[in-house]
Amino acid sequence: MADLAFPMPRPAGCPFDPPAEFARLREQEPVARAVLPDGSPVWLLTRYHDVRAALRDPAASADLRAPGFPIVTAAERALVDHGVHPGFIRTDPPEHSRMRALVAADFGVRRAEALRPAIERLVDSCLDRVLAGPRPADLVAELAMPVPSTVICWVLGVPVDDIGSFNAWTRALVDAGSTPEQTQEANGAITAYLDRLITTKLDEPGDDLLSRLAEEHRRGGIGREDVLATAVLLLVAGHETTANMISMGALALLHHPERAAELRADPGLAPRAVEELLRYLSVSEFATTRAAVRDVEVGGRTIRAGEGLLPLTQAANRDPAVFADPDALDFHRRSKRHVAFGFGVHQCVGQSLARVELQVVYPALLRRIPTLRVADGELGLKQGEGIVGVRRLPVTWD
């Protein structure tokens, strides 16, 4: 069989389901050879247990700079081509472990829960503006982007007034339509902005993560490049994925009114609903790309050192061997085994904070605007950007 072309198109007109080819591969060819847009080969893993096995195997490197690492997005290509430090998420232990330990507490369960009341007030203020504004309203612009952008500013110590600037830079970084020059310009702008802010934190520290990283640098524990790379990574990743999850989750609820009615009637269902929406949508498409640093066996196949592999979390989260009736949205299933946040030592460091934001947003949206529905208008489905999402979500209500 000829090598498959990857990424694969999603079903026409359906923003929720992964490519139909994933189901065939899971059944017939769970470790399949494919070709990326730049012509380089990659191994696709589609079964849940194979995906988890690869993600916990130290022979599968998460370092963007590793030989044979599969580069899927334009943003990653720009980092590699210009020798930019990829941030600790795209490194391996011990570098990964050292930097992760410095930021973990600021994204842990305790910190996330402490922020819940403030997040509730923030969500209500966003919904106040939606209700007072024109119809249709764009939930991406009015809710999905402002909430996680503001929250990550609180955590990092970035001035909230600057949200508009860094959202524009982030958009250029991750947009599949950006030219290499636009991507490079955006990366330069966000890096320069945060470099100036680090200098400010060294002179006038606050009670925030960026100040603590700057102080660790002052003591000689980490280099300035480490502080800067971590700041860029957390500022971009800390809101982009959650923003898309908010908009896609809201769209899924509007397309499944029976599930929306369940959650509206029982807000206590929110934790289970969030886990199921995370499984069902799996918005991070390529966050789990890896390169074999030595020969590794997965699913009965030997992947040689220097070959790329892509454990597909979207496919794993729809594996019927683990999740009964996996294409159904069911808030009563036990969904927490999903791998939407990855698995192993590189599992998403911000998952607790993301969960709290989602647990607040969905019930509040359904409670405050019970007649909410999708309005006419182009959604602008994202393709090939590494994150499943929509550029706009026009909604109206009675």
pLDDT in tens, 128-174: 999 999 999 999 999 999 999 999 999 999 999 988 888 888 877 77
CATH number at residue 54: 1.10.630.10
Please say whether the dihedral angle defined by the alpha carbons of residues 365, 369, 371 and 377, taken in this order, is positive or negative. negative
The two most distant CA atoms of the chain are separated, in Å, by: 61
Structural domain tally of the chain? 1
User: Residue 112 is which amino acid?
Assistant: A
Residue 57 Ramachandran class (φ > 0 left, ψ -120 to 50 alpha, else beta): beta
Residues in the chain: 398
Give bridge partners of residue 308 from the DSSP assignment.
291
Confidence of residue 67 (pLDDT cuts 50, 70, 90): very high
Q: ∠390-348-358 over CA atoms, to 5°?
A: 50
Q: Look up residue 308 and give its amino acid.
A: G
Quote the CA–CA distance of 319 and 47 in Å, as a whole number: 6
**pLDDT tens digits along 259-318:** 999 999 999 999 999 999 999 999 988 889 999 999 999 999 999 999 999 999 999 999
User: d(Cα 89, Cα 117) in Å, to the nearest integer?
Assistant: 29
Evaluate whether 375 touches 139 at the Cβ level (below 8 Å): no
**Which structural domain, as residue segments, surrounds residue 96?**
4-396
| Predicted confidence (pLDDT) per residue in 5-30, tens digit | 998 888 877 789 999 999 999 999 99
Residue among 338, 307, 359, 328 at smallest CA distance from 115:
359
